[in-house]
Structures are given as structure tokens and as C-alpha cells.
């Protein structure tokens, strides 16, 4: 069910000018029944001026009369042909004046960290024009030297769910078109559990290949020399203790 414009002000008017139940008003204005009761008691919406739904083409007097005569009757918003398809309007979204100066920074962030997004997707996310996006992509923007990339979600220009949906749609399109994905893009598609569970085997640098064989071979040679020296030079205990002195003569 569509929500009337200025719902709380409409509820104030209906409380003051009709005998509708709190539930009927709450259902029509999409408010809580206790909130409507608070409006009637003067605890809620104090100072809010009532908004007449009849003169503003949201309700008819016949509809209100029918609801007053039947407590189970639910108010229905008056059909407005001019509003049909309004929620499906395409094109860039409206950006408040206070945030328009942040759009170049968010565009720079999107084209830098999500180059797979098309100009149309970037335009829809932050509410900008394609010439501006192209100028930032090609670094021909007049203020490119002073633009720093900032996440549009942090700036409040779009929602994280909208950004994720746009990135996923762009990646799916690349897969359908058969375009090769870079390692960085492929890494983005891997879940956190998969990335944490994947452990690569340690690799030895190419410059160290063969050193283990050489080291083991030297150890075998050293061990063999020591064995030979033990057998030849130290045949008995006397030859070990009667070592030659500095002049080459054996000590007594």
C-alpha cells in the first residue's frame, strides 16, 4: 500500500476532523496505533499542522465517510494517474547540494577500485554525468590534482548494498562476455572463508635451487674425512698424546 505524503501531518488532520479509529488512521498513514493515540492525547506531533488529504487529492470525502460507518473498512489512497511509474523513473539520482562537491572524489574512488563498473552504473550510484566520469577516468578533469578518492558509501552518496549489487552485476557481465579477469578481480570474487582456508605451499627461491644437494654433499665429504682421519692419524692413544711441539719434535 502506498504511503500518503506528509503522513504524520495527515494523521493529525484525520484525528482532529474525523471519527476514524486509531487503527484505521494508523493503517492508512503507516504509523503505529499507539503513535496515533499519542497524537490524539497531544503527546506526539505537538506543533505539527494538519495536512488535509481531501484538498491535496489523497482521499475523497466518500472514502472517509465509508470508513467512519464501518470500523473494519480500510482507507484507500486516491488513485493519481500522474504518479504512475514515478518510482521507476530512470536516470541519475538526485544529490543534495551539500554533497555535490563530494561527487568527484567518489567517482575517482569508483573508477580506481572498481574499473569494471560502466559509466552508466557510476552515474546511477552517485548521480553524475558521463562527461564528468570520462574526464576523471582520463585524468583530464580541471581539478584532478586536488581530488582524493573517497568511498561513496562513507560520503552517503549511495548504500553499500547498491554498490555491491552494481559490482556483482558488472562481474557477471564480464563472465558472460568471456572477458579474462585479472588476479585482483578474481580475488574479489573469492569468499572470506575460502581465502582464509587456502594455504599455499612454501616455494624455494630459484636462486637457492640445488644448494640443498650441494650442502648435503659437503656434509658427506666432511664426515668421510673425519672418519679417515680417525683411522689413520689416531691409530692408538699414545700417538694422540705424544703430539709434536713447535719445533717438530715429540714431547717426552
Query: pLDDT category, 18, cuts 50, 70, 90?
Result: very high
- Indicate whether 124 and 52 sit together in one domain: no
As a whole number of angstroms, the distance between CA 120 and CA 106 comes to 15
Cα end-to-end distance, the chain, whole Å: 118
- Indicate whether 71 and 110 sit together in one domain: no
As a whole number of angstroms, the distance between CA 161 and CA 166 comes to 9
Which of 164, 189, 214 is a domain's end point? Answer: 189
- Indicate whether 105 and 53 sit together in one domain: no
Query: pLDDT category, 82, cuts 50, 70, 90?
Result: low
Look at the chain and report how many structural domains it folds into. Answer: 2
**DSSP state for residue 244 in the 8-state scheme:** B
Flag whether 61 is in a domain. Answer: yes
SS3 of residue 250 by DSSP: strand
Please give the grid coordinates belonging to residue 79: 488513485
Instruction: Find the mean pLDDT for residues 103-132.
Output: 91
Q: Is the pLDDT confidence value at 108 over 80?
A: yes
- Indicate whether 101 and 182 sit together in one domain: yes
Q: Is the pLDDT confidence value at 58 over 90?
A: no
- Indicate whether 102 and 171 sit together in one domain: yes
Q: Is the pLDDT confidence value at 88 over 60?
A: no
Percent with pLDDT over 90 in the chain: 26
Dihedrals φ, ψ of 223, to 5°?
Answer: -65, -35
Instruction: Find the mean pLDDT for residues 73-82.
Output: 77
Q: Is 72 exposed, middle or buried (0-12, 13-18, 19+ CB in 10 A)?
A: exposed
- Indicate whether 165 and 121 sit together in one domain: yes
- Indicate whether 27 and 105 sit together in one domain: no
CB burial of 40-50 (b: ≥16 within 10 Å; e: otherwise) equals: eeeebbeeeeb
What's the confidence (pLDDT) of residue 182? 56
Tens-digit pLDDT profile for residues 199-238:
444 444 444 545 444 444 454 444 455 555 545 554 555 5
Flag whether 32 is in a domain. Answer: yes
- Indicate whether 101 and 65 sit together in one domain: no
Please give the grid coordinates belonging to residue 236: 692408538
Tens-digit pLDDT profile for residues 151-175:
998 888 888 888 999 999 988 888 8
| Other Cβ atoms within 10 Å of 91 Cβ, number | 9
Q: Is the pLDDT confidence value at 98 over 70?
A: no
Which of 171, 189, 207 is a domain's end point? Answer: 189
- Indicate whether 178 and 111 sit together in one domain: yes
Flag whether 47 is in a domain. Answer: yes
Query: pLDDT category, 1, cuts 50, 70, 90?
Result: low
Flag whether 1 is in a domain. Answer: no
- Provide the whole-model pTM: 0.39
Which of 149, 172, 189 is a domain's end point? Answer: 189
Flag whether 207 is in a domain. Answer: no
SS3 of residue 114 by DSSP: coil
What's the confidence (pLDDT) of residue 101? 82
Instruction: Find the mean pLDDT for residues 133-153.
Output: 91
| Other Cβ atoms within 10 Å of 180 Cβ, number | 7
What's the confidence (pLDDT) of residue 200? 45
Flag whether 45 is in a domain. Answer: yes
What's the confidence (pLDDT) of residue 195? 39
Dihedrals φ, ψ of 244, to 5°?
Answer: -65, 145
- Indicate whether 118 and 62 sit together in one domain: no
Flag whether 33 is in a domain. Answer: yes
Flag whether 203 is in a domain. Answer: no
Tell me the residue range of the domain where 51 lies.
Answer: 7-83
- Indicate whether 103 and 185 sit together in one domain: yes
Q: State the virtual CA torsion across 66, 67, 73, 78 in degrees, nearest 10.
A: 80
Instruction: Find the mean pLDDT for residues 35-58.
Output: 87
- Indicate whether 113 and 171 sit together in one domain: yes
Amino acid at each position: 500500500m502506498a504511503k500518503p505524503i506528509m503522513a504524520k501531518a495527515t494523521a493529525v488532520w484525520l484525528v482532529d476532523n474525523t471519527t476514524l479509529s486509531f487503527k484505521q488512521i494508523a493503517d492508512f498513514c503507516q504509523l503505529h496505533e499507539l503513535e496515533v493515540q499519542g497524537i490524539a492525547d497531544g503527546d506526539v506531533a505537538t506543533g505539527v499542522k494538519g495536512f488535509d488529504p481531501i484538498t491535496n487529492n489523497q482521499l475523497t470525502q466518500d472514502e472517509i465517510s465509508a470508513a467512519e460507518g464501518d470500523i473494519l473498512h480500510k482507507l484507500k489512497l486516491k488513485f493519481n494517474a500522474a504518479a504512475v511509474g514515478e518510482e521507476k523513473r530512470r536516470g541519475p539520482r538526485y544529490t543534495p547540494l551539500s554533497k555535490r562537491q563530494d561527487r568527484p572524489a567518489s567517482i575517482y574512488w569508483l573508477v580506481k577500485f572498481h574499473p569494471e563498473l560502466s559509466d552508466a552504473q557510476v552515474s546511477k550510484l552517485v548521480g553524475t554525468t558521463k562527461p564528468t566520469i570520462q574526464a576523471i577516468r582520463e585524468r583530464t578533469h580541471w581539478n584532478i590534482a586536488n581530488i582524493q578518492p573517497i568511498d561513496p558509501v562513507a560520503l552517503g552518496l549511495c548504500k553499500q548494498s547498491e554498490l555491491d549489487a552494481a559490482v556483482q552485476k558488472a562481474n557477471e557481465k564480464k563472465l558472460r562476455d568471456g572477458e579474462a579477469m585479472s588476479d585482483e578481480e578474481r580475488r574479489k570474487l573469492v569468499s572470506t572463508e575460502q581465502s582464509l582456508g587456502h594455504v599455499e605451499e612454501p616455494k624455494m627461491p630459484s636462486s637457492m635451487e640445488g644448494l640443498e644437494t650441494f650442502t648435503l654433499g659437503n656434509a658427506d665429504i666432511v664426515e668421510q674425512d673425519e672418519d679417515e682421519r680417525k683411522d689413520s692419524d689416531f691409530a692408538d692413544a699414545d700417538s694422540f698424546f705424544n703430539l709434536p711441539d713447535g719445533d717438530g719434535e715429540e714431547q717426552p
